[in-house]
């Protein structure tokens, strides 16, 4: 079946980096974009941007700090989100979601990132 499988929880120290993966299966990976959405504890959804899986071109949400990097490995149908120079308020659940790039019809289960010294 169509699914997005995300990597497991991460515990990182402030200033470190983290790279989350999102592996697609059950459909043609390059036919859909991958969006990234984050949700801080007890908070709402925040769209981070999307990546064109055909061209690899990333689109980041306005106001992004430049610490987020979207990338792909189409040979294994996987999208990645890297967050550099982690801060405590980056602690959140990060979701990948399939889209065109709108209509987020399939979501990963989420990856919890905890940033703590």
Partner 1 sequence: QSVLTQPPSVSGALGQRVTISCTGSRSNIGAGYDVWWYQQLPGTAPKLLISFNTNRPSGVPDRFSGSKSGTSASLAITGLQAEDEADYYCQSYDSTLKGDFVFGTGTKVTVL
d(CA 114, CA 117): 10
Residue 30 burial (10 A CB sphere; 0-12, 13-18, 19+):
middle
The nearer residue to partner 1, 12 or 110, going by C-beta atoms, is 110
Residue 52 CB, nearest distance to partner 1 (Å)? 14
User: Which residues contact partner 1 (rule: CB under 8 A)?
Assistant: 35, 37, 44-47, 61-62, 95, 97, 101-105, 107-110
Residue 71 CB, nearest distance to partner 1 (Å)? 20
């Amino acid at each position: 079946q169509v699914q997005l499988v995300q990597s497991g929880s991460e515990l990182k120290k402030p200033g470190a980096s983290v790279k989350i993966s999102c592996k697609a299966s059950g459909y043609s990976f390059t036919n859909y974009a991958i969006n990234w959405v984050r949700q801080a504890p007890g908070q709402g959804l925040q769209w981070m941007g999307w990546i064109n899986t055909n061209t690899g071109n990333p689109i980041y949400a306005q106001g992004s700090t430049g610490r987020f990097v979207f990338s792909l490995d189409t040979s294994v149908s996987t999208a990645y989100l890297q967050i550099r120079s982690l801060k405590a308020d980056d602690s959140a659940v990060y979701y990948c979601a399939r889209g065109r790039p709108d209509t987020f019809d399939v979501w990963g289960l989420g990856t919890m990132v905890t940033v703590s010294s």
